[in-house]
């Protein structure tokens, strides 16, 4: 996948920014010893921290514990501990176990457990065994390094087929800054506030309030515009930790530095969103739907998400079938205000573009050319509503036999 | 499938009521000569008529034409003409063709074309060829009979694997009345006002207003509680024609006779809904989700639909996996007010019932027994919200390899 939206991508993921160590181990939650299941990210110094959480009424215990910790510390944290295989959701002892994960990490690192963020992903409702985590914490902390990001990114994967890491470098008031992150997510992805598990670190000096503002704004145009299957997870969470080691003047208002920071955050989160869509359960294609000409952003977003969520359209993309009627149908049932008779639709990929619909009706096009375009693995759907300046992009993936296999075949 | 909710089911579909003839022919829209593609229903006398239509902003041309006809006649009609294979939607000449279908039928029957209801189903955006319909109208009218319901029901099928017909008999003020219908629908089913194509006939004597009131109310608890794939079609429509030949005193108010009529309408539409769900594209299982104890009907309906729409849960049912965490997840993201900590869930089928969740958390249950229950082809999900008297039932089906095959493999 080609990264978009920035000209200075770097390697390193959550370790790209100054002063962040990470590690991942297999502690025994996952019976496959070659797959890590426990991740730790630690900053050398205390971080200003922002978080967004799932809007599902059923929330994982780690969500409640992380929220409580950040409220108690006023948005300060030093570390993240996260496990895969068990969601620690809908369990009577869930919060107790999540607190225990934080105190295990805090004790081993010599920091208060309230400065630890905790997250879990995996099967809902199965009781999280704490013993493997108790015994795994020592090697996890001992193995921490400034290049441990790959091990950590591996530890949070579930049905993911590849890890997701993005990092960028940029300047703020003459200081070189870095921001990078890791994400996991493949199924149960239809974020509504945050997504899956997502951890971002940066050495930028920025206040808690402005950090939260940046995260809340960027999540709206990135993760919240993503859908793999329409299922909003119980454990979605995205956090940004900023330790200030880049030594720029602290960002405390909505100024040019804040805009620069937000651009970097957008580049990382937008590309992570693309990676999540591209690696959706069973997916063979990334679908990117750009809506322009809508009344406002909200209208554009509603329409774009309606299209990339349509099971019929997702199946058509799997079959590389230019069945544009299904796109119009999905635009039509989007809960938004617009005049369908002004709508035009163009399909594109690295093989070119082809317009299939104008003024709300089909137009003649080469089915052969359309097939060639749709056989690629990144498909762009451009929709012009012809009604204003609002625009939005949403990301999704095709619906395939393997999605059914992964989710019908065994409990994941 | 066992019919539910009434003790007097009869055969005959749209011809069950007195004075209704029907027929279906292959006029050449469908290249398979053994599959009908053009249906006609005709009443011996003028009918009071009620209709509900899709809420999709993209509407098929027949929707506009039918609406206009019923407005012009003040809710009177004599006949329905319907074709499959072409949706006649998003075509520049759509309304002209739909009007032409009505005038062809009207001329052949010797009635005004405004008294004809028209409907189409099939691929969106492909221009409807009118010649096959022009040449098919003669054999279609000549073959009309009081037992032609099977031929008509066959003509409106698309990816349906079986036709859908239900009829009941009941008494109103000492007169024997009948009401029956036919429906089609297999994919692009997520009605929001009406569903797919659906035609109901009755010999009950009832005013246009009360007929519309009955239809609008019953559609809320039947078709609007159905989802196969979350895609609301552009051509959804349900009509009821009442010719009054049962000679009961005309129903003109919300009295006991009206209640009896509504019960009959509910029995037919509810069972048609179950048939539509059961024959969802690629489906192997009918899912029936009963929510009780909600604040109100709307809350109960929102929760029930959220569960039967969840792709992850639908896949789990295909795999006969009692993955109740996905049910709780789908309850949790339903856009409704309730306290998740009071929720309980029970799974059932003809093999028995098993509770899997209490007070919003999992409880111990026999996975073996659960598997036995879930291997059946009608699965009941009982959810108690523990918060009031509101209740609703929603119907859906599992998500299978064949859904992907049907919709990814060719243009349907």
Q: Please state the ipTM of this predicted complex.
A: 0.76
Would you tell me which CATH number, out of the four given (3.40.50.1400, 3.30.300.30, 1.10.540.10, 3.10.20.340), belongs to the domain B286-409? 3.10.20.340
> Which residues of chain B neighbour A402 with C-beta distances below 8 Å?
none
Angstrom distance (rounded) from CA A186 to CA A281: 5
Alpha-carbon distance A285 to nearest alpha carbon in chain B (angstroms): 13
DSSP state at residue A249: P
Q: Do B401 and A403 touch (CB under 8 A)?
A: no
* pLDDT > 70? residue B191: no
| pLDDT value for A194 | 34
Q: What is the rounded average pLDDT of the residues B181-199?
A: 70
Query: What's the burial of A253, exposed, middle or buried (CB within 10 Å: 0-12/13-18/19+)?
Result: exposed
Q: Which of B58, B327, B396 to mutate to test the interface with A (most CBs of A within 10 A)?
A: B58
Between residues 343 and 362 of chain A, which touch chain B (CB distance below 8 Å)? Answer: 357, 360-362
> Both tokens of residue B161?
């694997």
Nearest to B90 among A309, A312, A360 (CB): A360
> Which residues of chain B neighbour A122 with C-beta distances below 8 Å?
none
Q: Tell me the average confidence (pLDDT) per consecutive run of 10 residues in chain A, 412 residues long.
A: 83 96 97 96 96 86 96 96 93 94 98 97 90 98 98 92 92 94 77 65 96 94 81 82 96 96 93 88 91 95 92 91 90 89 95 94 92 95 95 92 78 54
Angstrom distance (rounded) from CA A163 to CA A182: 8
Please report how the helices A94-109 and A61-73 are oriented relative to each other, as an axis angle in degrees rounded to 10: 50
| pLDDT value for B410 | 54
Contacting residues for B333 by C-beta, under 8 A, at least 6 apart: A55, A56, A57, A58, A190, A192, A231, A232, B306
B326 to chain A, any CB pair closer than 8 A? The answer is yes
The answer to whether B360 and B341 are in contact (CB under 8 A) is yes
A408 to chain B, any CB pair closer than 8 A? The answer is yes
> Which residues of chain B neighbour A404 with C-beta distances below 8 Å?
315, 318, 399-401, 403-404
Q: Do B404 and A409 touch (CB under 8 A)?
A: no
For residue A92, the chain B residue with the least C-alpha distance is: B361
Contacting residues for A330 by C-beta, under 8 A, at least 6 apart: A306, A307, A309, A310, A312, A313, B231
3-class state of residue A412 by DSSP: coil
| CA terminus-to-terminus distance, chain A | 26
Encode pLDDT of B294-350 as tens digits.
999 999 999 999 999 888 899 999 999 998 988 998 998 888 889 988 999 999 999
- In degrees and rounded to multiples of 5, residue A330 shows phi and psi of -70, -35
Nearest one of A350, A358, A394, A341 to A375, comparing CA atoms: A350
| CA terminus-to-terminus distance, chain B | 26
Measured CA distances, A59 to A76, A182, A235, A260 (Å): 22, 21, 6, 33
Nearest one of A89, A83, A65, A68 to A130, comparing CA atoms: A83
Alpha-carbon distance B28 to nearest alpha carbon in chain A (angstroms): 23
DSSP state at residue A401: H
Q: Count CB-CB contacts under 10 A for residue A33.
A: 9
Angstrom distance (rounded) from CA B399 to CA B405: 11
> Both tokens of residue B365?
């249950």
Q: Do B92 and A409 touch (CB under 8 A)?
A: no
Q: Which of A61, A124, A235, A305 to mutate to test the interface with B (most CBs of B within 10 A)?
A: A124
Please, what is the Cα angle at B56 between B51 and B61, to 5 degrees?
65
Nearest to A231 among B229, B311, B400 (CB): B311
**Residue B227 CA, distance from chain mean position:** 10
pLDDT: which is higher, A329 or B22: B22
A388 conformational bin, left if phi > 0, alpha if psi -120 to 50, beta if neither: left
Query: What's the burial of A142, exposed, middle or buried (CB within 10 Å: 0-12/13-18/19+)?
Result: exposed
Encode pLDDT of B238-282 as tens digits.
899 999 999 999 999 999 999 999 999 999 999 999 988 888 888
> Both tokens of residue A135?
């015994």
3-class state of residue B66 by DSSP: helix
Between residues 6 and 45 of chain B, which touch chain A (CB distance below 8 Å)? Answer: none
Alpha helix stretches (DSSP H) within A279-393: 297-309, 311-318, 324-332, 367-374
Q: Count CB-CB contacts under 10 A for residue A364.
A: 7
Nearest to B330 among A55, A91, A231 (CB): A231
> Which residues of chain B neighbour A57 with C-beta distances below 8 Å?
331-334, 338, 340
Q: Do A319 and B408 touch (CB under 8 A)?
A: yes
Nearest one of B208, B99, B82, B224 to B157, comparing CA atoms: B82
Nearest to B411 among A321, A399, A401 (CB): A321
Please report how the helices B256-278 and B208-221 are oriented relative to each other, as an axis angle in degrees rounded to 10: 40
Angstrom distance (rounded) from CA A20 to CA A30: 26
**Residue B156 CA, distance from chain mean position:** 13
Please report how the helices B401-409 and A401-409 are oriented relative to each other, as an axis angle in degrees rounded to 10: 170
> Both tokens of residue A100?
């225990």
For residue A234, the chain B residue with the least C-alpha distance is: B329
Q: Do A325 and B87 touch (CB under 8 A)?
A: yes
Q: Do B400 and A409 touch (CB under 8 A)?
A: no
Q: Do B57 and A333 touch (CB under 8 A)?
A: yes
The structural domains of chain B, with segments of one domain joined by +, span 9-278, 286-409
The answer to whether A299 and A335 are in contact (CB under 8 A) is no
Between residues 39 and 78 of chain A, which touch chain B (CB distance below 8 Å)? Answer: 55-59
| pLDDT value for B231 | 67
Q: What is the 3-state secondary structure (H, E, C) of B189-224?
A: CCCCCCCCEEEEEECCCECHHHHHHHHHHHHHHCHH
| pLDDT value for A234 | 80
> Both tokens of residue A212?
């939260």
The answer to whether B61 and B97 are in contact (CB under 8 A) is yes
Nearest to B125 among A232, A325, A333 (CB): A325
A110 to chain B, any CB pair closer than 8 A? The answer is no
Between residues 229 and 248 of chain B, which touch chain A (CB distance below 8 Å)? Answer: 229-234
Nearest one of A362, A334, A335 to A347, comparing CA atoms: A362
Measured CA distances, A305 to A8, B145, B173 (Å): 29, 48, 52
Nearest to A329 among B56, B310, B407 (CB): B56
| pLDDT value for A129 | 97
> Which residues of chain B neighbour A398 with C-beta distances below 8 Å?
408
Nearest one of A384, A189, A160, A162 to A292, comparing CA atoms: A384
The answer to whether A226 and A41 are in contact (CB under 8 A) is no
Annotation says B195 is catalytic: yes
The highest-level CATH class for domain A9-278 is: alpha beta
**Residue A387 CA, distance from chain mean position:** 30
B90 to chain A, any CB pair closer than 8 A? The answer is yes
B333 to chain A, any CB pair closer than 8 A? The answer is yes
The residue with tokens 């390899």 is B401
A87 to chain B, any CB pair closer than 8 A? The answer is yes
| pLDDT value for A139 | 98
- Of A89, A121, A195, A400, the active-site residue reads A195
Measured CA distances, A224 to A196, A274, B141 (Å): 11, 12, 55
3-class state of residue A392 by DSSP: strand
Question: How many Cα atoms within 13 Å fall on the side-chain side of residue A54?
Answer: 31
**Over the range B178-203, which residues count as b (16 or more CB within 10 Å of their CB) and which as e?**
bbbbbbbbbbbbbbbbbbbbbbbbbb
Nearest to B409 among A188, A319, A410 (CB): A319
Angstrom distance (rounded) from CA A252 to CA A211: 9
Q: How many CB pairs under 8 A join A and B?
A: 198
- Of B49, B89, B121, B195, the active-site residue reads B195
- Could you tell me what percentage of chain A is helix, strand and coil, using 3-state DSSP and rounding each to the nearest 5? 35, 30, 35
Between residues 118 and 177 of chain A, which touch chain B (CB distance below 8 Å)? Answer: 123-126
The residue with tokens 């879930």 is B374
- In degrees and rounded to multiples of 5, residue A62 shows phi and psi of -60, -30
Alpha-carbon distance B344 to nearest alpha carbon in chain A (angstroms): 12
**Residue A291 CA, distance from chain mean position:** 21
**Over the range B54-71, which residues count as b (16 or more CB within 10 Å of their CB) and which as e?**
bbbbbbbbbbbbbeebbe
């Amino acid at each position: 996948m080609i990264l978009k939206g920035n000209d200075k991508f770097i390697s390193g993921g959550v370790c790209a920014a100054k002063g962040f160590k990470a590690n991942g181990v297999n502690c025994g939650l996952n019976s496959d010893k070659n797959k890590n299941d426990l991740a730790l990210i630690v900053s050398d110094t205390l971080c200003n921290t922002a978080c967004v959480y799932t809007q599902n009424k059923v929330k994982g215990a780690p969500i409640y514990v992380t929220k409580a910790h950040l409220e108690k510390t006023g948005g300060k944290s030093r570390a993240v501990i996260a496990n895969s295989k068990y969601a620690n959701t809908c369990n009577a002892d869930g919060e107790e176990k999540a607190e225990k994960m934080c105190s295990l990490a805090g004790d081993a690192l010599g920091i208060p457990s309230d400065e630890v963020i905790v997250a879990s992903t995996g099967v809902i409702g199965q009781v999280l065994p704490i013993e493997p985590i108790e015994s795994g914490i020592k090697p996890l902390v001992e193995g921490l390094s400034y290049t441990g990001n790959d091990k950590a990114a591996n530890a949070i994967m579930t049905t993911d087929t590849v890890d997701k890491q993005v990092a960028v470098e940029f300047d703020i008031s003459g200081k070189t800054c870095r921001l990078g992150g890791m994400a996991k997510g493949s199924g149960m992805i239809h974020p509504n506030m945050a997504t899956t598990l997502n951890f971002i670190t940066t050495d930028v000096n920025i206040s808690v309030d402005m950090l939260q503002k940046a995260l809340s704004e960027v999540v709206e145009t990135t993760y919240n515009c993503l859908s793999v299957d329409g299922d909003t997870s119980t454990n979605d969470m995205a956090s940004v930790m900023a330790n200030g080691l880049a030594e720029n003047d602290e960002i405390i208002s909505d100024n040019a530095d804040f805009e620069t920071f937000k651009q970097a955050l957008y580049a990382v989160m937008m590309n992570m969103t693309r990676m999540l869509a591209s690696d959706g359960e069973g997916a063979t294609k990334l679908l990117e739907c750009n809506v322009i000409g809508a009344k406002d952003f909200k209208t554009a977003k509603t329409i774009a998400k309606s299209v990339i969520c349509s099971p019929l359209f997702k199946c058509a993309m799997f079959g590389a079938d230019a069945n544009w009627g299904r796109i119009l149908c999905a635009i039509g049932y989007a809960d938004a205000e617009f005049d369908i008779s002004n709508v035009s639709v163009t399909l594109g990929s690295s093989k070119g573009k082809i317009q299939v619909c104008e003024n709300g009706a089909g137009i003649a096009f080469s089915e052969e050319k359309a097939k060639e375009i749709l056989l690629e693995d990144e498909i762009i759907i451009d929709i012009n509503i012809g009604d204003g300046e609002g625009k939005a992009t949403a990301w999704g993936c095709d619906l395939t036999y393997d999605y059914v296999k992964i989710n019908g075949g065994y409990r994941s």
